[in-house]
Amino acid sequence: MSIFAVDLGNSRMKFARAERDGHPVIVPNKMGEPFTHSVVYFPDNGDPVVGSEALNMAFADPKKVVFNWKRFIGTEKVLYKGQDGKEWHAKDIAALLLAHFKASVEARTGEVVTEAIITVPANYTEKQKRETIEAGEAVGLKVLCLPSEPYAAALGNDVHLRGDGLTLVFDLGGGTFDVSLLRVRGNLIEVLRTNGDQLGGQDVNRRIRENILNMFQKEHGYVPDQAKSPVFYADLDARVEQLKTSLTTLGQANLVIRDGEKLLNRKITRQEVETWVADLVKRALTLVELTLSEAQVGWPEITVVLPVGGGSRMPIIAQELERLAGKKLSQKLEPDYAAALGGIIAGRIELQRQGRKAETEAGALPPIGVHAREVTSHSLGVSALNKEQKPLQHVLLPKGTPYPSTQVRTFALAHPHQTAAHIVVLEGEDGIPEEECVKIGEFQLDGLPPYPDITDRIEITFELDSSGLLTATARDLKSGRTAVMKIDTKSGEKKAKKS
């Protein structure tokens, strides 16, 4: 069975498959477009609509259109509520988008898609990864792996074919920003460090939109009411996107926006926009510097700098990266489709790791001969009491741990004669109070023999799979009793398996 990948972007999705020789190529959607807008429209009657038609409906019926959904995955925020009272969360939107991916690829290739690679932001939490898997399963897709977007983009830009060296990937997408540092040595690709932020093209668009509204107010004395002028705001969003695209190659561009008889006709310069977003650019570059500092790598050691993602097309990004790096950026670059293309290569690497063969319509492909390891973007640990009996995070897997990985640590019980242990698994740095960390899950180890000795009693094992997903095991060293925390991706509930 052939392998397929999807770059499930906040603004646009791209689909890829392996050619007969294993080379990754983009698969157009059912309308022949090389990408699909990650937008969903909910009509009063009929099924939700995805893509260009949904985007068009933002002009006519904006309250029934969902976009910029990606930051809300892993949260309880309701993005749309239907007339029947059904609530749609980001995970449900992702499922609709993945259903469109599946239908488009099947229509284009004639193959039934049952397994796929889905790229995700490097900074995704355990819960966000799990919900992405759930979204795929909801539409009949088994998720082979979840390569991070900057890692996939590096593969899509042939980092494994460029020879040994250090590559910095600057991945500014529509809703998320990641920066990763990769090292290639022979046939091994290692992600040394990765960081991310809730920053993307939508923030740039919002800043441009705010300044255009200020111009409109100065010229006409008011700002259109969004509830009364939804078409104005839908048009404004389209004009902002068009303006941003034009200014990637032009020094200035025309902006024309109308509310009834009131017209704003202005020339907007690239320099103006760069002033408006200067703090956002600085925020991204600060994260780049932090990543290099954490990896203890200096700019002279960097072999290649790869700016990818739609947001990286802003000329100011290239200028600032070249200033910091002291060198020209790679001219051999695919910024927009690299993550989807690289997803195929990541999938072949994962199949090789599992001892499975990658298939195309021509038959089985030979092993790809490349090995890779990504790293955690968050520290993982358990809550344990300090001397003052306050629950604090105790890290087992520090941020930057390569995976797949296993770590074991032994903990004391809280009290003598204790017959059960409650284990709380957290994301957060060492020594942080439990309430300030992100809770991944919790489970119970029951049936402990009531010994007076409490030291070095409970052995905690953390195992990360090839997608960075966690399985936690607790074992009582005296009785052999064990409990395993695994997340049931069908229900999203944390369950403990005991023995």
**CATH code of residue 474:** 2.60.34.10
In order, the DSSP letters of 123-163 are T--HHHHHHHHHHHHHTT-EEEE--BHHHHHHHHTTGGGS-
pLDDT confidence of residue 1: 62
Residue 396 shares a structural domain with residue 488: yes
Q: Which of 354, 374, 394 corresponds to the end of one domain?
A: 374
To 5 degrees, how large is the angle CA 232–CA 236–CA 239? 140
pLDDT confidence of residue 493: 38
Q: Is 65 helix (H, G, I), strand (E, B) or coil?
A: strand
Q: How far apart are CA 11 and CA 38, in angstroms?
A: 5
pLDDT confidence of residue 491: 34
Residue 345 shares a structural domain with residue 297: no
Q: How far apart are CA 301 and CA 307, in angstroms?
A: 17
Residue with tokens 């991310």: 196
Over residues 142-168, the pLDDT tens digits come to 999 999 999 999 999 999 999 999 999
CATH number for the domain that contains residue 249: 3.30.420.40
Tell me if 375 sits within 8 A of 191, measured CB to CB: yes
Residue 253 shares a structural domain with residue 240: yes
Residue 368 shares a structural domain with residue 380: no
* 231 pLDDT above the threshold of 60: yes
Residue 343 shares a structural domain with residue 362: yes
**Residue 121 — φ and ψ, nearest 5°?**
-60, 145
The mean pLDDT of 352-361, rounded to a whole number, is: 89
Spatial CB neighbours of 466, under 8 Å, sequence gap ≥ 6: 145, 350, 353, 403, 404
Residue 96 shares a structural domain with residue 12: yes
pLDDT confidence of residue 486: 63
Sign, CA torsion 315/320/321/327 = positive
| Amino acid at the residue 107 | A
The mean pLDDT of 321-338, rounded to a whole number, is: 90
Residue 138 shares a structural domain with residue 207: no
The mean pLDDT of 423-452, rounded to a whole number, is: 92
Over residues 41-95, the pLDDT tens digits come to 999 988 999 999 999 898 888 889 999 999 999 999 999 999 889 999 999 999 9
pLDDT confidence of residue 307: 95
Residue 302 shares a structural domain with residue 235: yes
What does the DSSP 8-state code read for residue 356?
P
pLDDT confidence of residue 30: 87
Q: Which of 374, 399, 434 corresponds to the end of one domain?
A: 374
pTM, entire model: 0.90
The mean pLDDT of 315-337, rounded to a whole number, is: 91
pLDDT band per the 50, 70, 90 thresholds, residue 218: very high
Q: How far apart are CA 211 and CA 205, in angstroms?
A: 10
Q: How far apart are CA 274 and CA 190, in angstroms?
A: 34
Over residues 124-142, the pLDDT tens digits come to 988 899 999 999 999 999 9
Q: How far apart are CA 419 and CA 62, in angstroms?
A: 57
| Residue from 384, 381, 417 nearest 396 by CA | 381
Q: Which of 344, 374, 404 corresponds to the end of one domain?
A: 374
The mean pLDDT of 209-217, rounded to a whole number, is: 96
CB-CB neighbours of 140 under 10 Å: 13
Residue 344 shares a structural domain with residue 392: no
Residue 62 shares a structural domain with residue 211: no
pLDDT confidence of residue 262: 92
Q: Domain range for residue 168?
A: 163-330
Residue 219 shares a structural domain with residue 353: no
Count of domains forming the chain: 3
Spatial CB neighbours of 242, under 8 Å, sequence gap ≥ 6: none
**Strand pairing of 115-119 and 142-145?**
parallel
Residue 382 shares a structural domain with residue 351: no
pLDDT band per the 50, 70, 90 thresholds, residue 488: very low
The mean pLDDT of 440-452, rounded to a whole number, is: 90
* 492 pLDDT above the threshold of 80: no
